[in-house]
Amino acid sequence: MKFSFLLWLFSFFIQSIYLHYILILNQTALPQFVNFICLTEGDPDMPYNDYRQDLMGEATLTPSGQFEIGTFQSFKLIYTAGKFGIDDQGGLRIGFRGHFDGSAIQFSDPTAPGYTTVEASNGAVLEVSWEARRNIRPWNKSLYIRCLRFLREGDQIVINFGDQSKGSPGWLLQTFCESAFTFQITVDPFATQDFIALPSAANPTISMVPGDPANWKAVLPTLRRPGQAFRLSIKGDDRWGNPSNRLTGKIKLKTNLPVTGLAETIDLKAGDFGVVIEGLSVESLGVLHLTVLDENDRLIATANPLVIRQAGAVHFWSDMHAQSG
């Protein structure tokens, strides 16, 4: 018994020395060791198995296109099983980025936001769950679908996000713009919990766009000399604080001091995210106050004051941390 214990202790000592050599002294062997421990294949930087991604199936999303942020919508995503189908206890995962701040997916209250239904074309029973931290970052928030009966090639799983058929207002979208909001699909066809991602181009995407302008802002510099050029910037943010490109009609500008180069009215053009007027100047000393009115003479923005003075020193803005871009 004592001999066996000493033999075990000696073996443990030798293994410890070997691991110390690999991890500390032989840095070139570290990536291979990590690969061995994690049982990965191929590129160790790949977060998902990349085995035959082209055979993992396909997905379609309707409707597609552009959608206003912070609104209720409904989408139908249809996943069609690929060459291997999906084994019983295998499944599907649809991931969304962790910063998504729309309504959570839920399956219990058909009248509440985010109500979602999932069904298989072959009648297979499906288990569904909405997980906030289970998937690999950045796809933290994910819809998990587990098949309790197998799917053949060509069988489909139909997901209705924001199903409005029983009174739900729909799925509340996020409150910030995103040109390619992605439904990231990974598949567990062999019921191994080793999810394989569809090719990136095969993931359905939509575009999240801003709403109508709700809060207007006018920005001037804070200090200029008489006759020194400056610019005026005007934009309209939607109710969530995103710059809106739905600017239409005319706006009127009022000042307490004459401003060279400034028109009394400006035509807004849909598609622009704002208006920048360059080459302005004020010849007289004083404090410039500027207001912005809509077509009905309603005040919509007040610019910050601009001091016009003949100063010996000139102020320059800077960012010592170089974080302004």
CATH number at residue 200: 2.60.40.740
Residues 97 and 173 grouped into a single domain: yes
pLDDT at 112 over 90: yes
186 & 222 share domain: no
Same domain, 192 and 77: yes
Mean pLDDT (whole number) for 53-68: 97
Residue type for position 166: K
Q: Do 202 and 228 belong to one domain?
A: no
Whether residue 84 contacts residue 189, with contact meaning beta carbons closer than 8 Å, is answered with yes
pLDDT digits (tens, 9 = 90+) for 193-249: 999 999 999 999 999 999 999 999 999 999 999 999 999 999 999 999 999 999 999
Residue in the structure block whose two tokens are 């590129």: 43
**Residues 205 and 106 both lie in one domain:** yes
* Domain span at 150: 53-209
Q: What is the pLDDT of residue 16?
A: 63
Q: Does one domain contain both 223 and 116?
A: no
Considering the domain architecture, whether residues 155 and 190 belong to the same structural domain is answered as yes
Split into its structural domains, the chain has a count of 2
Asked whether the predicted pLDDT for residue 290 surpasses 60, the reply is yes
Is the same domain home to 57 and 192?
yes
Beta strands in 176-310 (DSSP E): 178-182, 184-188, 196-197, 205-209, 215-219, 223-224, 230-237, 249-255, 265-268, 275-280, 286-288, 290-293, 299-302, 306-308
Q: Note whether residue 33 is domain-resident.
A: no
Instruction: Please say whether the beta carbons of 238 and 69 come within 8 A.
Output: yes
